[in-house]
Amino acid sequence: MDAAERRREIAAAVWRVIRRDGVQGASVRAVAREAGTSMGALRHWFATQDELLHFAMTLVIEHARARVAAVVAGATPDARLVLRVLEETLPLDDGRRAEAEVWLALTARALTAPTLAALRDRSAEDLLALCRWVLTVLADAGDLRPGSDPSLEAERLYAVLDGLAVHAVTRPSALPVGRVRQVLAAHLDDLRDTR
Amino acid sequence: MDAAERRREIAAAVWRVIRRDGVQGASVRAVAREAGTSMGALRHWFATQDELLHFAMTLVIEHARARVAAVVAGATPDARLVLRVLEETLPLDDGRRAEAEVWLALTARALTAPTLAALRDRSAEDLLALCRWVLTVLADAGDLRPGSDPSLEAERLYAVLDGLAVHAVTRPSALPVGRVRQVLAAHLDDLRDTR
DNA sequence: TCTAAACTAGCACAGTCGTGCTACAACGAC
DNA sequence: GTCGTTGTAGCACGACTGTGCTAGTTTAGA
């Protein structure tokens, strides 16, 4: 049996439970039931509940990272690519919405769960680095508006991303997918001097 | 005894427990212990745990609303005021950080708690309205950059606010208070045509 | 002083919780 | 065949959960 695959299956069950009942509903028993297995079997793959949540969070991060890498791979870095890359981090379809919901739930949990916090910090660092990379791409293309502070702009772009993610996840009807893309595109236009 | 005041005291205990142990730690017993009272007494003021969390969230919203109102009251609406108003919604000191932590925890909880969700939606609507108001203030002062879509810009500003709030709360050392203010100020400068 | 209301205290019930633990089945290596 | 590893199953423990409930205490009004 493929151990990694088995763990991913169980993590998927964790996602489903979290989306349905929140983190507080993701008890060992509930996850085992959702995964169609027994408590004993589940604990063979994850010794503690913390491990379970930690891996579920890891998977969110991995998915996003893989999507970003797939878009970047072999493409020429320009303003159009940059938009597509950033869109991969936003909840623009069901799959990404699922991830974003789990991300929000576990991010909140991380406020009082040290091991989750460490994971969240690393992923935040990655996302901020992505934003910095975006700025350098625009700068290299001569597209960046003169006089702007790249470090500050990276922070602002990161805030826009996570702000949009939170709003799209919490109030999807008030902020439909198309609107999210508009806002992101507008922000990127703003970073360039295309006005 | 002042009933409203007593309820506020208990809600303050809820905040402390949530900050220390997360929402999942905010059991009726834990809150009663933190408030220095008994379960029975606590349940005299809040019949169910849901009511407890609901009121704790209400208080977060009320505090922010009151701060904003206090800044706006009697002042002339201009770009400088607008910055001060928006800063009231961000976790720039210990009090506001406490509120923002509770807000994040309960916002995540609201994903699977309908009564909290209703509350969160109303407060989100309020904040978005505040952002729209900011845009009209800038427009009225002739300060708004020509060609920008006020509705879209309100959405973007709202994203910046909540994105900054999330980052400031989750990673205070990576995003110190001064930096948060810089990013917000930069965004406001961007909305104007001061470049 | 007596009474009703407001308030406090905490037990009782019927659960669920995480995890330690043992028992058992499947299966490849020798 | 037999052994050891890998995976599954689920019981047992002690602790904690939200809320229904009764009983006691304090306070205010007449």
Same domain? A40 vs A60: no
Secondary structure, 3-state, chain A: CCHHHHHHHHHHHHHHHHHHHCHHHCCHHHHHHHHCCCHHHHHHHCCCHHHHHHHHHHHHHHHHHHHHHHHHCCCCCCHHHHHHHHHCCCCCCHHHHHHHHHHHHHHHHHHHCHHHHHHHHHHHHHHHHHHHHHHHHHHHCCCECCCCCHHHHHHHHHHHHHHHHHHHHHCCCCCCHHHHHHHHHHHHHHHECCC
Whether A10 shows a pLDDT value over 60: the answer reads yes
pLDDT of residue B1: 60
Give the pLDDT band (50/70/90) at residue A195: low
Which residues have a Cβ under 8 Å from the Cβ of B72 and sit 6 or more positions away?
B81, B85
Contact criterion met (CB below 8 Å) for B189 and A153: no
B177, exposed or middle or buried, with CB in 10 Å at 0-12, 13-18, 19+? middle
Strand C nucleotides below 7 A of a protein CB? 6-12, 16-23
Q: Which residue gives the smallest C-alpha to C1' distance to D8?
A: A41
pLDDT of residue B81: 96
Same domain? B91 vs B4: no
Same domain? A71 vs A154: yes
- CB atoms under 10 Å from CB of A134, counted, come to 25
What's chain B's average pLDDT? 96
pLDDT of residue B2: 83
Whether A115 shows a pLDDT value over 90: the answer reads yes
Whether B46 shows a pLDDT value over 80: the answer reads yes
The domain spanning residue A131 has which CATH number? 1.10.357.10
pLDDT tens profile A14-71: 999 999 999 999 999 999 999 999 999 999 999 999 999 999 999 999 999 999 999 9
pLDDT tens profile A133-148: 999 999 999 889 988 8
Length of chain B: 195
Whether A130 shows a pLDDT value over 60: the answer reads yes
Query: Is B105 in CB contact (< 8 Å) with chain A?
Result: yes
Length of chain A: 195
Contact list in A for residue B167 (CB cut-off 8 A) is 124, 155, 158-159, 162
Amino acid in position B172: P
pLDDT of residue A1: 62
Same domain? A74 vs A164: yes
**Structure-token pair, residue A12:** 């998927």
Range of the domain at B42: 1-47
Same domain? A107 vs A171: yes
pLDDT of residue A12: 97
Q: Do A171 and B108 touch (CB under 8 A)?
A: no
The domain spanning residue A12 has which CATH number? 1.10.10
pLDDT tens profile B58-73: 999 999 999 999 999 9
Query: What proportion of chain B, given as a percentage, has pLDDT over 90?
Result: 91
Q: Do A111 and B170 touch (CB under 8 A)?
A: yes
Counting the structural domains of chain A, the total is 2
Contact criterion met (CB below 8 Å) for A155 and B175: yes
Protein contacts of strand D with Cβ less than 7 Å away: A 1, 3, 6, 37-41, 43-45; B 25-30, 39-40, 43, 47-50
pLDDT of residue A3: 84
Strand, helix or coil for residue B144: strand
Same domain? B90 vs B174: yes
Contact list in A for residue B153 (CB cut-off 8 A) is 186
Same domain? A91 vs A26: no
Same domain? B5 vs B35: yes
Q: What is the mean pLDDT of residues A145-162?
A: 95
Give the pLDDT band (50/70/90) at residue B20: very high
Q: Which of residues 21-60 of B touch A (CB under 8 A)?
A: 21-25
Which residues have a Cβ under 8 Å from the Cβ of A9 and sit 6 or more positions away?
A35
Same domain? B1 vs B26: yes
Query: Is A190 in CB contact (< 8 Å) with chain B?
Result: yes
pLDDT of residue B62: 97
Same domain? A60 vs A28: no
Domain boundary among B47, B66, B81: B47
Same domain? B36 vs B59: no
Strand, helix or coil for residue B47: coil
What's chain A's average pLDDT? 96
Comparing A105-109, A146-150, B65-69, B157-161, the range with the smallest average pLDDT is A146-150
Q: Do A166 and B161 touch (CB under 8 A)?
A: no
Same domain? A43 vs A65: no
